[in-house]
Amino acid sequence: MSVYQNVTAFLNRHGFSAAGYDINTVVEGLLYDMKESLANGIGDLDSMAGAEDMIPTWGLPPKEAPKNQKIIVIDAGGTNFRSCLVTFDAAGKAEISELEKTSMPGIGKELGKDEFYDAVAANLDHLKNKADRIGFCFSYAMEITPDGDGRVLKFSKEIKAKAVEGTMVGACLSDALVKRGWNRPKKITLLNDTTAALLAGASTATGGRAFSSYVGFILGTGMNTAYIESEPIGKIAGMKDSAGNSAPSEQIVVCESGRFNKLQRSDFDRDFDRTTNTPGLYYMEKQCSGAYLGPVALIALKQAAEEGLFSEPVAKALKALDKAETKDMDMFFFAPRNAETVYGSIAAKGTQADADTIFTILDAFVERSARLSAALIAAAVIKSGKGTSAALPVGVVCNGTTFYKTHNLMQRFTGYLNDVLISQRHLYYELLSVENDITLGAAVAGAEK
């Protein structure tokens, strides 16, 4: 029997088949979930209610870049916390300065509400009073208010700050800054990283380039999607902003795609889910993103070692391995014979069949991530109602180390998306890569309109 046959039989026995994640089937499930959440909001996760938050932002990309403005930008991501000053000149050209990076508050230990916002404010000391507007890219589930603040719904990516859930980020941060001697900011505008990526993508429509709509996609520590909804959103019908304006007929919607739960899970997924801070939540994210690929794949390797797929020395080493990250998978993919890496050192203890088995099992998780990611983008493009003209594609801004760096993931993703959208549906898209996209998108959102 071949290594592939052994691995396939093993994975199938535990309810895992990467090829079993038919992209069109996942797309249909996503479209159902998106429509249900847009109409009625999320409901019981053990029912057919919507699972994705589908958060209206009450905004669209601006028709032109800001001019003659300075904006403080915060990017609170899955692992890192970045802050800087963005200056737009008279022509709308952006310059980024005073960039600093530190760790995300709550990544190491549980923080209370005041502790969390005090830590965020302390990270901004180098920018004190250098601008009176702040664009805050907050890459966690939140409800965007009509006036641009954000109420935290749920933390993911293993952030430990339960007391912060339900709080208004902009208002709380403004208070924390004043406590540290700042002038109170005129406005703190909250947005998600996918919205920031989408807004940055809109800035690429220059020099004759044109797009019918935009999608923002993040596949890094976590995962998410944003797109422009072209129909009225039922769950906010009748809502108005502080100026009395009704919800716009078109607006950017943040999906919170990682919460999608209408897809099969393997034994490995269930075992891993029980070890996380959010058991029973973020099924899609835990099957795709960089924070989870490595740990879930290690569970599969350990189980394969228990079931006799490896020689004794390799099985023993795998069972003894305490943890492995997605980067450890990648190092092995790119250099399987490098004995200095986590999996390379284990493979060196055995035969070529051992190395092939490790590779094939790990690669199955990358394949699944590529398929599910392609389904997410396909669903967003379809739901936008745009892309029907080949000369006016949907611009898809992709961001995230997992997407760009993981071995063979982007190539597979692109192939599947071409097939599902262009070949099968005659819907057109173009992948866009924008330098400093999250920073620029957050600055655009925070600028005075």
Closest listed residue to residue 282, CA positions, set 302, 306, 258, 250: 258
Secondary structure letter of residue 108 according to DSSP: S
Per-residue pLDDT at 157:
57
In the beta sheet, which residues pair with residue 396? 215, 431
Distance of alpha carbon 54 from alpha carbon 228, whole angstroms:
11
Closest listed residue to residue 14, CA positions, set 355, 375, 365, 372: 365
Strand segments (E) across 147-269: 150-154, 187-191, 213-219, 223-229, 251-254
pLDDT one digit per residue (tens) for the chain, 449 residues: 799 999 999 999 999 988 889 999 999 999 999 999 999 999 888 899 999 999 999 888 887 778 899 999 999 876 789 999 999 998 888 999 999 999 888 777 888 899 989 989 999 999 999 999 999 998 887 888 888 999 988 776 567 778 888 999 999 999 999 999 999 999 999 998 899 999 998 877 777 889 999 999 999 988 999 999 999 999 998 887 777 878 888 999 999 999 999 999 999 999 999 999 889 999 999 999 999 999 999 999 999 999 999 999 999 999 999 999 999 999 999 999 999 999 999 999 999 999 999 999 999 999 999 999 999 999 999 999 999 999 999 999 999 999 999 999 999 999 999 999 999 999 999 999 888 999 999 999 999 76
What 3-state DSSP class applies to 132? coil
Per-residue pLDDT at 440:
92
pTM for the full model? 0.88
Closest listed residue to residue 217, CA positions, set 417, 443, 449: 417
**H helix and E strand count, the chain:** 16, 13
Distance of alpha carbon 145 from alpha carbon 212, whole angstroms:
26
Distance of alpha carbon 409 from alpha carbon 78, whole angstroms:
20
The H-or-E segment that residue 135 falls in is: strand 133-138
Per the rule left: phi > 0, alpha: psi between -120 and 50, beta: everything else, 242 is: alpha
Note the pLDDT tens digit of each residue in 21-52: 999 999 999 999 999 999 999 988 889 999 99
Closest listed residue to residue 62, CA positions, set 406, 413, 440, 364: 440
Distances (CA, A) of 446 to 106, 183, 188: 25, 17, 7
Q: Are 26 and 375 within 8 A, CB to CB?
A: yes
Distance of alpha carbon 174 from alpha carbon 176, whole angstroms:
5
Per-residue pLDDT at 98:
96
Per-residue pLDDT at 78:
65
Lookup: tokens for 286: 């835990």
What 3-state DSSP class applies to 91? coil
Per-residue pLDDT at 268:
97
Distance of alpha carbon 152 from alpha carbon 50, whole angstroms:
19
What does the mean pLDDT of the chain come to? 93
CATH, domain range 57-203+436-446: 3.30.420.40
Lookup: tokens for 361: 């099992």
Closest listed residue to residue 103, CA positions, set 74, 82, 73, 84: 82
